[in-house]
Structures are given as C-alpha cells and as structure tokens.
Amino acid sequence: MDLSCLCSHLGWALCVLVLALLLRTRRKGSWHPRLSPTDLTGKTAIVTGANSGIGKYVALDLARRNARTILACRSRERGQTALEEIQRATGNPQVLLRVLDISSMASVRHFAQQIRQEEKRLDILVNNAGVSGLPFSITSEGLEQTLATNYLGAFLLTNLLLDIMKESAPARIVNVSSFTHHQGTVNVKHLSGQEKIKTFNESYKNSKLMNILFTQELARRLQGTGVTANSLNPGIVKTGIMRHFNWLLRLLFGIAGIFFMSAEEGAVSTIYCAVSEEAADITGKYFDSDCVLVLPSAAARDPGLARKLWEESERLTGLAEGSSM
C-alpha cells in the first residue's frame, strides 16, 4: 500500500470513528421492536443478505412476528445456518432459504421468477445485502462489483417483484442505505466501469446515495398503489461489513467496535420501516438510526438525478426490455 493510499484509508477510518462516537452518544432509541405489537401472520417477507449482521436480526424479528420469512442469501451453507438459528429462536416453521447472488442480474432474475412461481403474496421486501471495501472490479455482466451488489441488484429485484407486491398491498419496500451517502456522488458511467472510481471505498458511498435516489423515484412511481418505499441509515454497527478491508483497518475498527451498535441494535431502523404502525403511510423518506425522519443529502433529494439514475439502471439491468413497470 503506498503512502497516499494509506493516508486515505486512515483518514476515512478516522471520520467513521468520530461519527461513531457522535452517533453513539446521540442515540435516543425511542422506538423498540419488542414494544411494537405488529403481527405478520399470513404475510410474506423477503430479506436479502439475511445470513449475518443486520439482515439476520431483521429476519429474526419478522419471523418472530409470524411472517413467512424468506432469507435471500448467496451461500446455501451460511443461509442454512441462519435459517436453523432463526427457526430455533422463533419456533416459526415458515422460514425459508432461497439462494440469491444480488451482484448477478441473472441470479436476481432467477430468484424473482422462483418467488413469483412459489409465493402467493409479498408484503415486505428488505433490500439489505451489501458489501464494502472491495477493490474496483467488473462482473461478468459488465457491471461494477460494489454498485451491482449494493444498488443495481436491489433495483432489478424490486422491479421484478413489484406486481406481486402491488397485488398484496399494503406492502412495504425498505432499502438499507447509510450515513456515508453524504460523501457519495452519482456518475452513471461508474455503474458499468466506463469511468473508474479512484478513491478508497468511493463505490460504497456512491451506492448508498443511489439507494436513496432509487427509493425516492420508486416511491414517486408507486404513488396510489398502496406500496411504500423508504430508506434508512442503520447507524455504525459492529458486523462483518469490514471483512474486505486491510488488516490495519480491521484492527482499528475491532478496537473501536466497543462504541458501535450491536447488529441487533443496528437492525432497529430497518425493522421500524418494515413493520411499525407509525411508518405505515410514509413513503419516499429517509430515516436515521433512531427511527427519526431526517433529510438526506442535497444530492439524494435531486429528482432529476433520481430519474437519470433510474433510466440508466433500467438500461444496464435489461429491465427496459421487459419490465413490470
């Protein structure tokens, strides 16, 4: 690692640590899943990336509320371990595993087709799966790896499941973003690697900004359908999200982890958007880790940018040639 790269890594780490401390001391935590009476008997929910971290606790909560809970995981083995754990903890036999590699549009299409064939309804879709710290690379489908995983896969999956969600309305779509979207920018040429991202973890921040822009445009298009779409920041959470970082950053974050939220705490704002009575009629909004409505960055509120991103995403994922919208 050269000196400028190391400084950018350390600078980034320092910013996140300061933010972690601030957020930790600012946590109000007024809403708690265990105080919410929402029962999901007869409802179906999908959580992507449900085998670890925030996604696993979200799936656990939905299963505890008796939802038919579909864990969408790329590894059958890791997914099966999570499934057994959730079934044991909740006693809900309606917890299922379906394999999904969200970075592959072919896998997303196969998964969506399977859901449309097997499921009668879909009430909650939580787009949670994500990666951070990956070096620049292009998938076999010509998409930038981090943007494909964190944004394009969720974009395609959501669109392919919209019909069944509209038929099941009221239904909710929840997109897990991040406070790091504030440092993100959108250049649609990054999606296919036509222009290369240069600074460390820029793709991650950009993908989290895209999550919010996608949510805004989706909510606009879904007006009057009974399907809502919201995005949120889970906070700074001690999970496996740092696994692709170098040893020095992993060590720093490991030490600072005592200030971070647990994965269970980090799941709260996602669960709030998915099940709370308070959020039932809210759409197109962004919530912070205390489940409070906040304004995202100015870029995240730019409708023109959201539309441009949508159109380019439609083209890149092939949705434009046979979409459900």
Contacts to ligand NAP by CB under 6 A: 48-49, 51-55, 73-75, 78, 100-103, 128-131, 149, 176, 178, 234, 236-237, 239-241
57 catalytically annotated:
no
Give dist(CA 196, CA 187) in Å, integer.
Answer: 10
Give dist(CA 103, CA 88) in Å, integer.
Answer: 30
Q: Match 């590894």 to its residue by tokens.
A: 75
Measured at the alpha carbon of residue 173, what is the angle toward residues 308 and 294, in degrees to the nearest 5? 75
DSSP letter for 286, please. E
Report, in Å, the least distance between residue 266 CB and ligand NAP. 6
Give whichever of 176 and 316 is closer to ligand NAP, judged by the CB atom. 176
**DSSP letter for each residue of 244-273:** TS-HHHHHHHHHHGGGSBPHHHHTHHHHHH
Give whichever of 149 and 168 is closer to ligand NAP, judged by the CB atom. 149
Give whichever of 47 and 309 is closer to ligand NAP, judged by the CB atom. 47
Report, in Å, the least distance between residue 39 CB and ligand NAP. 25
Report, in Å, the least distance between residue 312 CB and ligand NAP. 21
Give whichever of 128 and 228 is closer to ligand NAP, judged by the CB atom. 128
Determine contact, residues 46/306, Cβ cutoff 8 Å: no
Annotated catalytic residue, options 57, 151, 204, 286: 204
Phi, psi of 228 (to 5 degrees): -100, 160
Give whichever of 168 and 265 is closer to ligand NAP, judged by the CB atom. 265
Give whichever of 57 and 168 is closer to ligand NAP, judged by the CB atom. 57
Residue nearest to ligand NAP (CB): 53
Report, in Å, the least distance between residue 126 CB and ligand NAP. 10
Token pair belonging to 65: 């509320």
Q: State how beta strands 227-232 and 171-176 pair.
A: parallel
Report, in Å, the least distance between residue 254 CB and ligand NAP. 13
Report, in Å, the least distance between residue 237 CB and ligand NAP. 4
| Alpha-carbon dihedral angle through residues 240, 231, 265, 20, given to the nearest 10 degrees | 70
Give dist(CA 207, CA 201) in Å, integer.
Answer: 10
Determine contact, residues 268/179, Cβ cutoff 8 Å: no
Token pair belonging to 192: 């296919």
Run of H or E residues at 153: helix 153-167
Reference 218, options 230, 209, 226; nearest CA is: 230
Residues assigned a catalytic role: 204
